[in-house]
């Protein structure tokens, strides 16, 4: 097995092609215990399209339950979708089988929110770290050991962790182990689903900085899922904002934070960055709770909570379209 550090592919002419293309993805879960009458569905992901460029850090933000994790799992092929497709480096994720699927799964790794849940508490970390390599029948025992030590080194830990069990580590150390485990298979895309929300505030920045360092060192592409806009502001190149199963705004980090166009993004910003010096306090905070994803509102899904809503908003769903260069927004009155 080659070293993880030397395995990073050089930037090529194809680097302009998106690494990931999500096309009109739909995932509805049947509602259990729905009773008589019409069968009901949770509209978890409802027509999502987006792209991720190689080497990019894309943020995905939105309130709890808006569909972020479902979208991530669908992108990895872990959740079968109702319609739409995901292309990874031009390959349809759902259509691959056998060895091609295994290889695709190695290229896309997921880092979960809770490192305590991600690692078996009864197992020494050395065994947990060896599992992905043995499952993929990679290398000899000796080669696997070398790769594990290299991955630990990349996340700032030493060999002594191999003989420890999860309860002998701090939350920050465990999240580093989880990141190391994801790196072992030499992925090209790392999907980080709320990677720091289970950690103490003091170690959050360390883990985020580690991810950014690894991204550069290993030429990774990152999808960073968070409900915390401060996380996204810290490390993302571009940000997609999700609301009730739909993407409502996509823009570069600067554009999104300086010129948010969707009233929902404006409200999220106001709610999450109240103490920012010079913050525009004219932004309203989100009113009320998000409506049920089982029966989403007609027209624009945000209209019942939107301070700018007009009659048209309750009738006609807005399309995600360019308001400025590279800035997509799904709102009938983005400049109102």
Ligand X SMILES: Nc1ncnc2c1ncn2[C@@H]1O[C@H](COP(=O)(O)OP(=O)(O)OP(=O)(O)O)[C@@H](O)[C@H]1O
Contacts to ligand X by CB under 6 A: 29, 42, 44, 62, 64-70, 227, 293
* Site membership for Mg ion, residue 175 (CB under 5 A): no
- Count of chain residues binding Mg ion (CB under 5 A): 1
Tracing tokens 């997609």 back to the chain, one arrives at: 240
Minimal distance in Å, beta carbon 61 to ligand X?
9
| 60 backbone dihedrals φ, ψ, rounded to 5° | -125, 115
Among ligand X, Mg ion, none, partner that 305 touches (CB below 5 to 8 angstroms by kind): none
Q: Which is nearer to Mg ion, 69 or 109 (CB)?
A: 69
Q: Which is nearer to ligand X, 57 or 61 (CB)?
A: 61
| 21 backbone dihedrals φ, ψ, rounded to 5° | -125, 120
- Contact assessment for residue 221 and residue 54, using Cβ atoms and an 8 Å cutoff: yes
Q: Which is nearer to Mg ion, 68 or 303 (CB)?
A: 68
Q: Alpha-carbon distance 250 to 214, whole Å?
A: 25
Among Mg ion, ligand X, none, partner that 300 touches (CB below 5 to 8 angstroms by kind): none
Q: Which is nearer to ligand X, 75 or 179 (CB)?
A: 75
Among ligand X, Mg ion, none, partner that 76 touches (CB below 5 to 8 angstroms by kind): none
Among Mg ion, ligand X, none, partner that 59 touches (CB below 5 to 8 angstroms by kind): none
* Site membership for Mg ion, residue 44 (CB under 5 A): no
* Site membership for Mg ion, residue 69 (CB under 5 A): yes
Among ligand X, Mg ion, none, partner that 330 touches (CB below 5 to 8 angstroms by kind): none
| 256 backbone dihedrals φ, ψ, rounded to 5° | -65, -45
Q: Pick the stretch among 67-75, 132-140, 155-163, 177-185 that binds Mg ion (CB under 5 A).
A: 67-75
Q: Alpha-carbon distance 160 to 230, whole Å?
A: 34
Tell me the HSE value of 112 on the side-chain side, using a 13 A CA sphere.
10
Among Mg ion, ligand X, none, partner that 64 touches (CB below 5 to 8 angstroms by kind): ligand X
Q: Which is nearer to ligand X, 65 or 171 (CB)?
A: 65
Q: Which is nearer to Mg ion, 195 or 286 (CB)?
A: 195
Q: Which residues of 97-124 are buried (b: 16+ CB within 10 A; e: fewer)?
A: eeeeeeebbbbbbbbbbbbbebbeeeeb
Closest CA to 53 of 189, 175, 193, 210: 189
The string of DSSP letters for 73-127 reads HHHTTSS--SEEEEEETTEEGGG--HHHHHHHHHHEEEE-S-HHHHS-TTS-HHH
Where does this chain bind Mg ion (CB under 5 A)?
Answer: 69
């Amino acid at each position: 097995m080659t070293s993880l550090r030397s395995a990073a592919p050089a930037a090529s002419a194809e680097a302009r092609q998106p690494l990931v293309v999500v096309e009109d993805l739909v995932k509805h879960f049947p509602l259990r215990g729905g009773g008589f009458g019409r069968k009901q569905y949770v509209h978890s992901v409802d027509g999502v399209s987006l792209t991720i460029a190689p080497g990019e850090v894309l943020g995905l933000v939105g309130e709890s339950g808006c569909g972020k994790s479902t979208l991530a799992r669908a992108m990895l092929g872990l959740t079968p979708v109702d319609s739409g497709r995901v292309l990874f480096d031009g390959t349809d994720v759902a259509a691959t089988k056998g060895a091609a699927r295994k290889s695709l799964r190695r290229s896309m790794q997921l880092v979960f929110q809770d490192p305590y849940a991600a690692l078996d508490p009864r197992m020494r970390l050395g065994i947990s770290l060896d599992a992905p390599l043995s499952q993929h029948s990679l290398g000899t025992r000796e080669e696997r050991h070398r790769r594990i030590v290299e991955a630990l080194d990349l996340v700032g830990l030493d060999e002594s962790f191999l003989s420890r069990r999860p309860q002998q580590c701090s939350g920050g150390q465990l999240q580093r182990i989880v990141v190391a485990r994801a790196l072992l298979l030499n992925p090209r895309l790392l999907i980080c689903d709320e990677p720091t929300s289970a950690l103490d505030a003091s170690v959050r920045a360390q883990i985020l900085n580690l991810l950014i360092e690894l991204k550069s060192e290993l030429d990774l592409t990152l999808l960073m899922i968070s409900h915390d806009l401060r996380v996204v502001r810290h490390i993302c190149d571009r940000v997609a904002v999700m609301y009730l199963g739909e993407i409502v705004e996509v823009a570069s980090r600067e554009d999104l934070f300086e010129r948010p166009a969707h009233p929902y993004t404006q409200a999220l910003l106001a709610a999450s960055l109240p103490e920012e010096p010079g913050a525009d306090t004219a932004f309203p905070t989100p009113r009320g709770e998000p409506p049920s994803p089982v029966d989403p509102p007609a027209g624009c899904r945000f209209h019942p909570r939107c301070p700018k809503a007009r009659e048209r908003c309750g009738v006609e769903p807005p399309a995600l379209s360019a308001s400025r260069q590279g800035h997509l927004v799904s709102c009938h009155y983005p400049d109102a």
